[in-house]
Amino acid sequence: MKAGPAAMTKKKETSNATPTPIPRRRKWYKWSAWCISGLLLIHMAFPLGVRLWQTASLPSDAPRIAFTPNDTWLRILHVNEAYQVSFALAQGKLVEIQPNDTGASHERIKAWLEKNLIDGVLLTGGGDVDPRLYGSDPEKAAQVNRIRDDFELALIKVAMEKKLPVLGICRGCQLLNVARGGTLQDLRAKKELKNLHFNMTGHQAELTKDSRLAKIMATDRLASVQSFHYQAVQDLGRDLRVSARGPGDVIEAIEDTSDSWIVAVQWHPELSLNDPHQNTLLEAFVKAAKDRPKD
């Protein structure tokens, strides 16, 4: 039985009806979910990508440098990958060592360095050094990790015994001074100094004439260095000298007084890939590691 005209008209109207639009809010949620998922995927894959690139870009004879990664919340922002990238560009291979790999045992650290064919040691940034290590008030510090402190102090001692080149960055500069019996000052106590030495714009640094650092960088003044620190060297440790100062006469770099390649800076050269002076420092350290006398 054929449908009448009225039924046909109703069917036609139904087929031509405009589909119900998806609410804008639902579309926004969908795109947000995709964006967040994409960012999480990139965040998770980035460290792997850096290591694959590092392996592919470095020569087989690249010097192997032990480094203790930043253990604060900043690690989720890939600050440790910044070290990996900057040192790979300087032709050095960073090999991660953690406190739980060896503890503070000198013998275990020495065995680890020899097993991993380490040519140099990099001391990176992180939380404050425990003030109790240099006779100060433990309340004047933040994000202290005493386990890391003790481990790195032992690592420094072994590295010096083996005559390995050592580069300290930020916290690494502070810890190197403490390892030699020096003390630190808390810049939080002086608001002006605190703001000058922890900011996104950086500050200038005056290098000591004829210091190893000045010779490496071929200058006696840096217009701007990346500075993010609340502690700084106060009383110098044994056999160390000042190689740079910043605003407020704060010590910004120290080095060994002997021929040993031991240099430490308060700023972050790994965050200044476009600065030839900072690149030169990393390259000089890597070269010292590559050219060191083998055991």
Strands 221-225 and 203-207: antiparallel
Lowest average pLDDT, out of 24-28, 70-74, 177-181, 260-264, goes to 24-28
Catalytic residue among 81, 170, 229, 252: 170
189 pLDDT more than 80: yes
User: What is the phi/psi pair of residue 69, to 5°?
Assistant: -65, 155
- pLDDT tens for 239-278 read 999 999 999 999 999 999 999 999 999 999 998 888 999 9
Domain boundaries, the chain: 63-291
Catalytic residue among 197, 203, 229, 268: 268
106: annotated active-site residue: no
31 pLDDT more than 50: yes
170: annotated active-site residue: yes
206: annotated active-site residue: no
Give the number of other CB atoms < 10 A from CB of residue 137.
9
With cut-offs at 50, 70 and 90, classify the pLDDT of residue 59: confident
Q: What tokens were used for 104?
A: 């503070």
For domain 63-291, which architecture applies? 3-Layer(aba) Sandwich (3.40)
Q: CA-CA distance, 270 to 83, in Å (whole number)?
A: 6
Q: CA-CA distance, 40 to 46, in Å (whole number)?
A: 10
- Cβ(216)–Cβ(280) under 8 Å? yes
Q: Which residues pair with 78 in a beta bridge?
A: none
3-state secondary structure of 100: helix
Catalytic residue among 81, 229, 270, 277: 270
* 207 vs 202: which has the higher pLDDT: 207
| Of 99, 123, 227, the residue nearest 178 (C-alpha) | 123
